[in-house]
Amino acid sequence: MLDGFDLTGRIAVVTGGGTGIGKAIAMLMAKRGADLVLAARRVEALEDAAASIRAETGRRVEILPTNVTDPQAAQALVDGAVERFGRLDILVNNAGRSSYSGFAKMPPALWDKDIALNLNAAFYCAHAAFPHLKASGNGAVVNISSQAGLTGTPGCGAYSAAKAGLQMFTKVAAAEWGGAGVRVNCVAPGMIATELAQKSWAKTGFDALGSATTAFALGRPGKPEEIAQAVVFLASDAASYITGETLAVSGGPGQKGMIDTD
């Protein structure tokens, strides 16, 4: 049964693939046999990620610096991947980032920025990829949402709205594309200890290992590799009868009740 997790022979595009969760997803996909195209804006991060993945796995990894908020650039990314590898089997829409502002003080441009990166970009890439995913016979899209898209996060309202929209895009795309053999699923990470997050926590004094995680059932932040495992599962044949779903990888729901149960 473990053969279902094998990605040998599959070609995957991972957006936001140069750092953090995206890099962890790409690394695990390569370990499971996939060849990859990594996309992000920063060339240096892409080159570093590609080099480390090649060195550790021996897989072929190409980079295509891309601003996925531009629909023409998203199309060029997909076209470039197919030009290099001849096919496309998996798309991981991981590119995303949150701005911080309450709604009352939020400039419209900030709202537009978060919606563009966290929602529109996924549509642009998936729309461009669909014909190739259909031709694959094993086509899979995995969108990376957030716990904020499930519960909402005050101060990150535009990001929360965009990620909730991404989850609905997942459902509707799955319904529309299932007949073509293309599965579309979503992973919603909680608080994940990426390198960037840890630097931010250290700078602001955020207690990610203490009081900030006491509300989580597992009582700790997650690791990028734990998100990668969920993504690889949903992209693989092990999830061949799963589509239109959002899988929360967030350490569990809050467990504070009305009485002390210890």
- The string over 197-217, giving b where at least 16 C-beta atoms fall within 10 Å of a residue's C-beta and e elsewhere, is beeebeeeeeebeeeebeebe
Q: DSSP E strands: which ranges in the chain? A: 11-15, 35-39, 61-63, 90-93, 140-144, 183-189, 246-249
From the candidates 100, 124, 159, 241, give the one annotated as an active-site residue.
159
CA dist 195 → 19, 21, 207 (Å): 8, 10, 15
Tally Cβ neighbours within 10 Å of residue 166: 25
C-alpha 88/C-alpha 36 separation (Å) is: 10
Tokens of 227: 């998100």
124 among known catalytic residues = no
Supply the residues annotated as catalytic: 159
